[in-house]
Amino acid sequence: MPGTLAPPRPVETADEQRSRETAELVAAVVAGDHGAWGRLVDRFNGLLWWIARAHRLEADDAADVVQTTWLKFVQSVDRLREPERAGAWLATTARRECLRTLRQQGRQVPTDDETVLEPPGASAPLPEDEVLRSERDAVLWQAVEQLPGRGGRLMRMLLSDPAPSYEEVSEALGMPIGSIGPTRARCLERLRRSAGVAALLPELAGPAMVLT
């Protein structure tokens, strides 16, 4: 009918946008776009290193895991059935490589053990105008690191930059997607009750505290 307006397109969620962009990058990589390969590595390399460190691998072993994961991805990229899930594919592969490395070394495979990670940029020199923010960040990271077991690892992963999708978190931690939200909520409640957070970050200690 003349004059009829087309229905508005649904608003794309952050996860949907991330999946679309990932699929586009994978397609470009398959087509031989070296720039797209660099952007794909930039997007997911930090996630792979996080997974390796979460399994407490030595630096050389962690580097081998990351390198092997990317090598397997290169060998499989043109056969991915769901290119938008490349991040989940990489996370699963990295986790399996970590477990394989631990078994070869005869070490115990971690489950819900606590993993202490340095906050991003902890060793970088800070300008004077960022000292206060650094102190506030340090308090928050310290509180996060004191969260027990899987909850602590989950929050450190969700606070990374860029934050991974729930699907990537699920693959990296071996955690059902449906349990991520409730676990996150329990961890946020524990952070609200943290004495350090309440003392230095009063605006984060109340009900309005939101970490995205």
Give the CATH number of domain 14-104.
1.10.1740.10
Cα–Cα distance, 212 to 210 (Å, whole number): 6
CA of residue 9 relative to chain centroid, distance: 29
> Which two structure tokens, joined as six digits, stand for 156?
């450190």
Digit-coded pLDDT (tens) for 177-196 = 888 888 888 888 887 777 66
Digit-coded pLDDT (tens) for 47-105 = 888 888 878 888 899 899 999 999 999 999 999 999 998 988 998 899 889 989 988 88
Cα–Cα distance, 156 to 3 (Å, whole number): 52
Are the CB atoms for 65 and 48 separated by under 8 Å?
A: yes
> Which two structure tokens, joined as six digits, stand for 157?
């992963």
Report in angstroms the alpha-carbon separations of 58 from 46, 53, 72, 91, 128. 16, 8, 21, 19, 34
**Per-residue model confidence (pLDDT) at position 137:** 57
Enter the pTM of the model: 0.58
Q: How confident is the model at residue 112 (pLDDT cuts 50, 70, 90)?
A: very low
Q: If you compute the radius of gyration of the chain from its CA atoms, what whole number of angstroms results? A: 20
Third-level CATH fold of 128-205: Arc Repressor Mutant, subunit A (1.10.10)
> Which two structure tokens, joined as six digits, stand for 139?
């308090």
Domain boundaries, the chain: 14-104, 128-205
Are the CB atoms for 90 and 48 separated by under 8 Å?
A: yes
The H or E element containing residue 155 is helix 149-158
Degrees, nearest 5: CA angle 160-53-65: 115
Are the CB atoms for 91 and 172 separated by under 8 Å?
A: yes
> Which two structure tokens, joined as six digits, stand for 177?
């997607």
